[in-house]
């Protein structure tokens, strides 16, 4: 049954390209339905998943796909963000040919992301990560503007460097392991007598993932890519693609391979902490709406990485929870940015102000995204950040716990700057004729805002049904 998560997008992709009579709007609707079905399907699974062996099917020799409780969280996030990206593309891409191109790219990315989440072989994971990276390059440059091409070029250069690091790491792994399956790698590492070779191979792969994730000090491609890309592409990239190709794979390797290595844990936590502070400080200096959100993404992903590096079951569950929450509240804020750009034609916050008076739905939902990003109750972001701080404290990482807590003040600061400059205060001269965007952008804003509120308000239910099962992976 889980093969449908790969086969359905593939069949839609084939159908919309074989028939010239299929309009881009039809392709968009089919993709939106498929992504909604994916989110609904996986969310209904965790209660019964523990009764299985977590292996779903083998469809090629030595190509085994599997799923566990962590996969459920990520697949749900993929479905939600891909649905939102469909809605944004339909409302903001006017050229039918460009819209059709975007939908093809989204479908290929959906296939790649779903497969990556279900893979348990490091070389196969690498292949699909690179496939998604190619799609990301095209998504960034889809508008073919100078800034978009510049952002895509920067991404391509750093991504190529990450590819070299990851391939070199895999070559080293073959020196001490007869298999590249994650379970086999972990077993080979536990008995191999040369720890330096093992740490070198893991370190190289991790550096590649740091680049893919846009983490410090490899973060400089990310603001250019996010801010220059088309609005729909920004939602998809910031909401889920970057996290799947970088953060998810890092978390999966931590879970399966290096979770007990103190040196690797220390490096991961340091990168996470530096990303938190660097992203937050740089976000406060931005004048461009989307660039501020891009630097905010660096900071918020840093929280996920920081918790992943702790290496305890509760910390990993907290990281997985923030993974999902970041996918929703960051996607919401980028949809808000898309709505503002559609009406004003600019992302310069110096030309904005008081837009909540003219765009109430966008203003209110942006406030929900802002409060969740800042980690204020009762929204979803508060609970995942609270769990991260609690996990750090429980693991004896008192400095990092205090650091994560105090860094939230910086988050509150730059999000207040954004709200004040864009949505609140006096209406800027010349904006009296601005109107709210249509339902194609308002609906995804409301859907994401509702998810953020419901996850926050229903936190005990979410904790028992989704987060604790993720934590239980460590006990198997």
Q: Are residues 410 and 280 in the same domain?
A: yes
Residue 299 and residue 278 in contact, taking contact as beta carbons nearer than 8 Å: yes
Please report, to the nearest 10 degrees, the dihedral formed by the alpha carbons of residues 86, 149, 13, 92 taken in order. Answer: 20
Q: Are residues 20 and 87 in the same domain?
A: yes
Tell me, yes or no, whether 203 lies in a domain.
Answer: no
**CA–CA distance, 469 with 476 (Å, rounded to integer):** 11
Tell me, yes or no, whether 208 lies in a domain.
Answer: no
**CA–CA distance, 343 with 433 (Å, rounded to integer):** 10
Q: Are residues 462 and 365 in the same domain?
A: yes
CA atoms within 13 A on the CB side of 254: 32
Q: Are residues 243 and 265 in the same domain?
A: no
Tell me, yes or no, whether 426 lies in a domain.
Answer: yes
Q: Are residues 222 and 120 in the same domain?
A: yes
pLDDT at 446: 94
Domains held by the chain: number? 2
Question: What tokens appear for 37 in the block?
Answer: 């079905």
**CA–CA distance, 81 with 69 (Å, rounded to integer):** 19
Q: 205, 226, 253 — which closes off a domain?
A: 253
Q: Are residues 219 and 361 in the same domain?
A: no
What mean pLDDT, rounded, does the chain reach?
86
Helix axes 122-140, 146-176, angle to 10 degrees: 170
pLDDT at 167: 92
What pLDDT digit, counting tens, does each position of 357-369 carry? 888 999 899 999 9
What pLDDT digit, counting tens, does each position of 371-404 carry? 999 888 889 989 999 999 999 999 889 999 999 9
**CA–CA distance, 403 with 282 (Å, rounded to integer):** 17
Tell me, yes or no, whether 170 lies in a domain.
Answer: no
Tell me, yes or no, whether 173 lies in a domain.
Answer: no
Q: 201, 227, 253 — which closes off a domain?
A: 253
Q: Are residues 438 and 297 in the same domain?
A: yes
What pLDDT digit, counting tens, does each position of 427-444 carry? 887 777 888 888 889 999
Domain enclosing residue 115, as ranges: 1-156+215-253
What pLDDT digit, counting tens, does each position of 131-142 carry? 999 998 888 888
Q: Are residues 354 and 228 in the same domain?
A: no
What pLDDT digit, counting tens, does each position of 241-258 carry? 999 998 999 999 888 887
Q: Are residues 278 and 130 in the same domain?
A: no
pTM above 0.85, yes or no: yes
Tell me, yes or no, whether 402 lies in a domain.
Answer: yes
At residue 150, does pLDDT exceed 80? yes
Tell me, yes or no, whether 198 lies in a domain.
Answer: no
Burial of 438 (0-12, 13-18, 19+ CB in 10 A): exposed
What pLDDT digit, counting tens, does each position of 267-322 carry? 999 999 999 999 999 999 999 999 999 999 999 999 999 999 998 889 999 999 99
Q: Are residues 248 and 336 in the same domain?
A: no
CA angle 49/305/187 to nearest 5° reads 60
What pLDDT digit, counting tens, does each position of 439-470 carry? 889 999 999 999 999 999 988 888 887 787 77
CA angle 312/317/323 to nearest 5° reads 125
Q: Are residues 232 and 89 in the same domain?
A: yes
How many CB atoms within 10 Å of residue 144?
9
Tell me, yes or no, whether 467 lies in a domain.
Answer: yes
Q: 253, 282, 306 — which closes off a domain?
A: 253
pLDDT, greater one: 135 or 2: 135
Q: Are residues 339 and 225 in the same domain?
A: no
């Amino acid at each position: 049954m889980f093969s449908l998560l790969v086969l359905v997008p593939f069949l839609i992709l084939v159908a919309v390209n074989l028939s010239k009579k299929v309009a881009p709007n039809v392709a968009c609707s089919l993709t939106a339905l498929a992504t909604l079905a994916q989110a609904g399907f996986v969310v209904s699974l965790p209660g019964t998943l523990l009764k299985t062996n977590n292996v779903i099917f083998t469809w090629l020799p030595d190509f085994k796909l599997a799923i566990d409780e962590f996969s459920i969280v990520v697949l749900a996030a993929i479905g939600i963000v891909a649905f939102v990206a469909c809605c944004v593309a339909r409302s903001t891409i006017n050229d039918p040919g460009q819209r059709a191109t975007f939908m093809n790219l989204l479908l290929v990315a959906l296939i790649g992301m779903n497969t990556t989440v279900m893979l348990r072989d490091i070389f196969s994971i690498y292949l699909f990560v690179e496939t998604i990276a190619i799609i990301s390059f095209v998504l960034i440059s889809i508008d073919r503007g100078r800034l978009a091409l510049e952002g895509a070029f920067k991404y391509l250069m750093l991504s190529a460097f990450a590819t070299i690091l990851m391939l070199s790491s895999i070559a080293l792994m073959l020196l001490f392991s007869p298999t590249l399956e994650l379970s086999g790698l972990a077993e080979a590492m536990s008995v191999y007598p040369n720890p330096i070779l093992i740490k070198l191979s893991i370190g190289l792969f991790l550096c590649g993932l740091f680049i893919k994730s846009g983490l410090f000090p490899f973060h400089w491609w990310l603001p250019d890519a996010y801010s220059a890309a088309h609005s729909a592409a920004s939602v998809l990239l910031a909401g889920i693609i970057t996290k799947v190709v970088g953060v998810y794979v890092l978390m999966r390797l931590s879970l399966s391979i290096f979770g007990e290595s103190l040196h690797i844990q220390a490096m991961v936590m340091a990168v996470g902490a530096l990303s938190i502070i660097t992203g937050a400080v740089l976000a406060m200096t931005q004048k461009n709406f989307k660039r501020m959100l891009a630097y905010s993404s660096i900071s918020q992903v840093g929280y996920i990485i920081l918790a992943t590096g702790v290496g305890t079951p509760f910390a990993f569950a907290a990281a997985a929870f923030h993974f999902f929450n970041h996918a929703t509240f960051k996607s919401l804020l980028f949809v808000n940015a898309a709505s503002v750009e559609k009406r004003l034609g600019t992302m310069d916050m110096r030309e904005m102000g008081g837009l909540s008076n003219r765009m109430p739905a966008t203003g209110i939902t942006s406030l929900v995204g802002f409060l969740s990003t800042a980690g204020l109750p009762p929204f979803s972001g508060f609970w995942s950040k609270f769990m991260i701080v609690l996990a750090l404290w429980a693991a004896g990482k008192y400095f990092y716990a205090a650091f994560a807590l105090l860094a939230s003040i910086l988050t509150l600061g730059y999000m207040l700057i954004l709200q004040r400059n864009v949505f609140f205060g006096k209406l800027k001269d010349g904006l009296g004729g601005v109107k709210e965007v249509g339902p194609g952008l308002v609906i995804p804003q409301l859907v994401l805002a509702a998810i953020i509120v419901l996850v926050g308000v229903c936190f005990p239910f979410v904790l028992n049904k989704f987060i604790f099962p993720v934590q239980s992976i460590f006990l198997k």
